[in-house]
Amino acid sequence: MADLLGDLAELRRRAREDRHAYSFPLLFFGVASFLALPLYAPAEPPSRGFEVRYPVLLGLFWLVVLLAGGLATVWWYRRRGTRVGIETSTRGYLGATVIGLSGPVVGLALEHLPFRFYSGTGAGLIVLAVATVLWHRGAPRAVTSTAAVLGTAVLQHDQPAIAQFIAIGLGLVVLAALERSTRFTTITAAYLVALCVSAAFTPLVVSQPTAWSLGSVVVLPGSVLLVGGLVGLRRG
Amino acid sequence: MAEHPTASLDDVVHQRHRLGILTVAAEAKRVGFGYLRSTLELTAGNLSRHIAVLEQAGLVAVEKDYDGKRPRTWVGVTPAGRAALAVEMAALRALVERHVASQA
């Protein structure tokens, strides 16, 4: 009986291993992060705040990256599933991509609220935690999605410099849950830690901003994505 | 008195290969026939028979499509199949624990 349980655990482990395809999204978003660096050139004349020279171009770049990256990731998982013979459901990831992209739109409505959150980041994280608990408990999809959209929007609104990385992180958390891979979960956790560190300690407000000082907010999370993608590629 | 764990074992699910099919299928959205055959080291005929039993019991759903001109068969676990697998695994674990406790 114990042998049977051991054999089944081995089958489960093998099936999970064969489903792994996380290196692609990590590499895609990692490379995109570094490609975005030139767009973080400071505004002319330089100001002390987080003001880039081409804000529309930067916004458009990340919109295209998030959209193309989300769709390419779904395509990649489906293609790999067909090739290997074991498919991962990508519906949750597609949902996370839509939530990540809808955050800035909902954020516009947040501007018109009659009150301000004491800590938008704290409120956003709490709502996202509630959404995660609801998801785990199998709450109606409309309730979970609404909580996830609200939490993401509040978080992105409070942390505009890393809004795109919050969207990427949301997708990675969902993918890690779908893949049930310890390595991918560890990489995703490292990415989220890097994101928090990057948001907390990057000197966005300096007297003489440069593309590096403004763009440094993308270097740490971008590096984790790249290294994680390379690790995934090496391990197959 | 608590029911003996063997009472929870389902004959359809309990067969070793069918348990293997359900275990692998429960890990994915759907699994290819070829993948199951190579992973479980079964002949095509044998695997087909087990899948037919599971399908008849409503525990798996079978889909067919084409990869170019080559027909492909996919197996996906149904909610009933997932629930049956969970019950079976709990019963197996309870039996092992009972056995270990009786040896102690």
Residue among B27, B30, B89 minimizing CB distance to A16:
B27
Q: A98: how many CB neighbours lie within 10 A of its CB?
A: 15
Q: Supply the pTM of this predicted model.
A: 0.84
Q: Among all residues of chain A, which has the CA nearest to that of B90?
A: A5
The count of other CB atoms within 10 Å of the CB of residue A200 is 9
Do the beta carbons of residue A203 and residue A137 sit within 8 Å? no
First-to-last CA distance in chain B? Answer: 21
pLDDT of A103 above 70: yes
CB A227 within 8 A of CB A189: no
pLDDT tens-digit series, residues A12-63: 999 998 988 999 999 999 999 999 988 888 877 766 666 788 889 998 999 9
Question: Under an 8 A CB cutoff, do B24 and A11 touch?
Answer: yes
Question: What's the residue count for chain A?
Answer: 236
Q: Is A136 exposed, middle or buried (0-12, 13-18, 19+ CB in 10 A)?
A: exposed
State yes or no: pLDDT of A105 exceeds 70. yes
pLDDT at A4: 84
- B31: nearest CA partner in chain A: A86
**B89: which chain A residues are within 8 Å (Cβ-Cβ)?**
5, 8
Beta carbons within 10 angstroms of residue B97's beta carbon: 11
Contacts of B68 in chain A (CB under 8 A): none
pLDDT in tens, B1-25: 567 767 667 778 888 899 999 999 9
Identity of residue A22? Y
pLDDT tens, residue by residue, B31-78? 999 999 999 999 999 999 999 999 999 999 999 988 888 889 999 999
**For residue A43, what pLDDT is reported?**
76
Assess contact for B53 and B86: CB atoms under 8 A: no
| pLDDT higher than threshold 90 for residue B92 | no
Contact A27, A225 (CB under 8 A): yes
Q: Please provide the size of chain B in residues.
A: 104
Flag if A86 and B20 touch (Cβ within 8 Å): no
How does strand B60-67 pair with strand B70-77? antiparallel
Interchain CB contact of B96 with A (< 8 Å): yes
**CB of B35 less than 8 A from some CB of A:** yes
pLDDT digits 0-9 by tens, A125-174: 898 899 889 988 888 888 988 888 888 888 888 888 888 999 999 999 99
> Closest partner residue to A82 among B24, B67, B95, by Cβ?
B67
